[in-house]
Amino acid sequence: MTGGGLPAGVPMLAPAPARRRTFLTFAPPQIGQAEIDAVVDTLKSAWITTGPKTRTFEREFAAFVGAPGALALNSCTAGLHTALATLGIGPGDEVITTPLTFCASVNVIEHVGARPVLVDVEPDTLNIDPRQIAAAVTPRTRAILPVHYAGHPADLDAIEAVARAHGLTVVEDAAHAIPARYKGRFIGAGTNPAAFSFYATKNLTTAEGGMLTGEPAFLDRARVLSLHGMSRDAWKRYDQGASWRYEVLLPGFKYNMTDIQAAIGLCQLRRQDAFQRRRRHVVAQYTAAFAADEALEPPVARPEVEPAWHLYVLRLRPEALRIGRDRFIEELTARNIGTSVHFIPVHLHPYYRDKYGYAPDAFPIAHDNYRRLLSLPLHPGLSDRDVADVIAAVLDVARTYRR
């Protein structure tokens, strides 16, 4: 025995790291003086709702991702709903999607009167499994709605092959996916309708907002549907020399983006390269710290993609720990580290569970991973000290409760 009471050759544990004095918020928006000035400039102008800045934002966003065209809306949910409605999907139709997503991805299918058909996810990326999509196609299937989970692009080649074989449309839920790339091309650069989110926690925020990309002819129809079904928006009616006349062509929605939001979005778009450099740096530090710990499973990045790294989803290995995910989160909270869970699978929510009779293990990969995943803070505002605090807290909890 050594003087400290430990057998010879057994190292002493390092002292527990000092805990943060202040709480580290999970995902605050990154708003700077440029965004504030742009909003003030808009408020001082003659136009604060959908107008010239919204149109500029649409053009610049389309150019940024290489999209054929873009339509600015008040949410990603609006983009998905408008896309399905523009495609004429409705009662009697089926849309295949993933259970491991926010409820909006599936709610919009219900909104148009169609049936959401859920299939399980792949165990590495947690994106929808193309093989299970193929097995779920029926004569009623009209579309496939993949979600680029956490900013890692889904396997679009395989998904689009299934769609071509059965004459289906692919509508991409790209809420997490700016500026992700699949095989060298930005998500949104193709002809599929793709809906992006600019919610407060997203890589690009307008507080609330979204963008729908796709072919110009498709977006022309979607634009009408997105604003009451009117043939001309307010800017076209009230600008100098314009006519007040309009026609209602369809019973549309109220989904337009305002110039106040677009002003923020334009500034955020111009900061994306810097934002992503910082995100990738934080991800590299996290993964280097967690990869060797038997209790922790870092997220993957397949070689053919460049993830947007909207989320850093860490998975716990229950066989290596004496506590579960919920207690792990409580321990991080006690160490002043904010976290979240992405997501409670759709089939566990009462509406979908009861309507469609889903058991918890109906989608075993999604369900198993849900029970062991948590999202760590990941945003460009994290300092090196913040990142070190997150790493220290996670490793401390893993060490304290290791089996």
Give catalytic residues, as residue numbers.
202
Question: Distance between CA 267 and CA 193 in Å, rounded?
Answer: 24
In the numeric block, the tokens 């699949």 are attached to 182
Q: Which two tokens stand for residue 326?
A: 């919920």
DSSP state of 256: B
Phi, psi of 154 (to 5 degrees): -70, 170
- Residue 292: CB atoms within 10 A of its CB come to 7
User: Strand 172-173 and strand 194-197: pairing?
Assistant: parallel
Question: Distance between CA 109 and CA 97 in Å, rounded?
Answer: 10
Question: Distance between CA 198 and CA 204 in Å, rounded?
Answer: 6
Question: Distance between CA 14 and CA 28 in Å, rounded?
Answer: 32
Question: Distance between CA 396 and CA 328 in Å, rounded?
Answer: 11
Question: Distance between CA 184 and CA 306 in Å, rounded?
Answer: 8
Q: Which of 80, 62, 61 is CA-nearest to residue 195?
A: 80
